[in-house]
Structure 1
Amino acid sequence: MPMPQEYQLASQQYEAFLLDAMESMDLVTRNRTYTCVQATLLAFRNRLTAEQVLAFADTLPVVLRAIFTSGWSRDDFNPEFGTMEDWVADAKALRRLHNFSDDETPAGVAKVLHRHVDLPHFEQVLQQIGPDAMRFWGFESTAEAETS
């Protein structure tokens, strides 16, 4: 069996994502962009169970999947999903002296990520995780949509 294309093209896909994120979020360097993306991914990851971490990781392009799971420990789990303010605070806390995340960072990363994933699969996994996960990544949950 030949090497899967997602692995063959991993670097190009990551570079395209990083450039899109840098431009969309009006950042000036790849390092700043990487930190904002990593901070957002980790802020989300720490709110997931082990099973949810693995399910969500499977929705991400290869390099983002590696960033998402790198250094992961079950001990990082925070059972309180929190609010947007909590997510922003967590994103800003990563490498505090070298982090350019702002109040819009998680939402900005979410918008870019939507353009680089299999969106129906991504949304399906988020629905399985729950309404907080849907909100984190900029979707209205099914339950909220039905009550609107």
Structure 2
Amino acid sequence: MTVPQEYIQASRDFEAVLVDVRDRAMVSTTHRAFTTLEAVLRVFRRRLTADQSLAFAGLLKACVRALFVADWTMGEPVVPFATRPKMQEEVMSLRRDHNLSPDTAIQDVTEALRFHMDEEKLKSFLKSVSPDALSFWGFSTEVE
């Protein structure tokens, strides 16, 4: 079997995600976008069980998936979704002295990532988690 395209173009796909995060968050470099992306992924991961986290990781492109699971302490307790300002504080706590994420980081990252994901699979997954998960990712929580 040949190497799947997902792995052959992983670096290009990751760079495209970083550029989209950079542009949406209006940060000046992809290095700053990386911290913003990583922080938002961690904030979301803290609110998922291990099984949910692995299911979510399967929806991500290879390098984003790796970033999502990096430095994960699986025994860490799951925390409930909080207000957007409270979760934004969590975003800012990653590398506090070097984190230039905007106040809109969660929205910026989720919008950028949705462009690089199968939106129907994402939405189905989020529905299985909670209305708060849907809201985190910018989906309406109204029953369809």
Mapping for residues 73-88 of structure 1, pairs under 5 Å:
73-88=73-88
Instruction: Name the CA distance, whole Å, in 2 between partners of 1:4 and 1:16.
Output: 18
> CA deviation digits over 1:85-109, x for unaligned, max 9?
2211110110100001232000011
- The residue type paired with residue 34 of structure 2 is Y
- The residue number in structure 1 matching 2:24 is 24
Is 1:61–2:61 an aligned residue pair?
A: yes
Cα RMSD for the two superposed structures: 1.2
- The residue type paired with residue 47 of structure 1 is R
How far apart are residue 127 of structure 1 and its match? 1.1
Q: Which runs of 5+ in 2 are unaligned?
A: none
- The residue number in structure 2 matching 1:44 is 44
Most deviating of 77-86 and 53-62: 77-86
> CA deviation digits over 1:49-104, x for unaligned, max 9?
00111011111111000000001112333332222122111101101000012320
- The residue number in structure 1 matching 2:7 is 7
Is 1:111–2:129 an aligned residue pair?
A: no
> CA deviation digits over 1:98-145, x for unaligned, max 9?
00123200001111111111111111111111111111111112xx34
- The residue type paired with residue 130 of structure 1 is S
Instruction: Please say if residues 59 and 117 of structure 2, whose CA atoms lie closer than 8 Å, have aligned partners that are also in contact.
Output: yes
TM-score, normalising length: structure 2:
0.94
Instruction: Please say if residues 59 and 121 of structure 2, whose CA atoms lie closer than 8 Å, have aligned partners that are also in contact.
Output: yes
- The residue number in structure 2 matching 1:100 is 100
TM-score, normalising length: structure 1:
0.92
Matched residue SS, 1:75: coil
Instruction: Name the CA distance, whole Å, in 1 between partners of 2:80 and 2:129.
Output: 13
Instruction: Name the CA distance, whole Å, in 1 between partners of 2:107 and 2:143.
Output: 19
How far apart are residue 26 of structure 1 and its match? 1.1
How far apart are residue 19 of structure 1 and its match? 1.1
Instruction: Please say if residues 48 and 77 of structure 1, whose CA atoms lie closer than 8 Å, have aligned partners that are also in contact.
Output: no
> CA deviation digits over 1:17-73, x for unaligned, max 9?
111211122111121110000000000001110011101111111100000000111
Instruction: Name the CA distance, whole Å, in 1 between partners of 2:102 and 2:15.
Output: 22
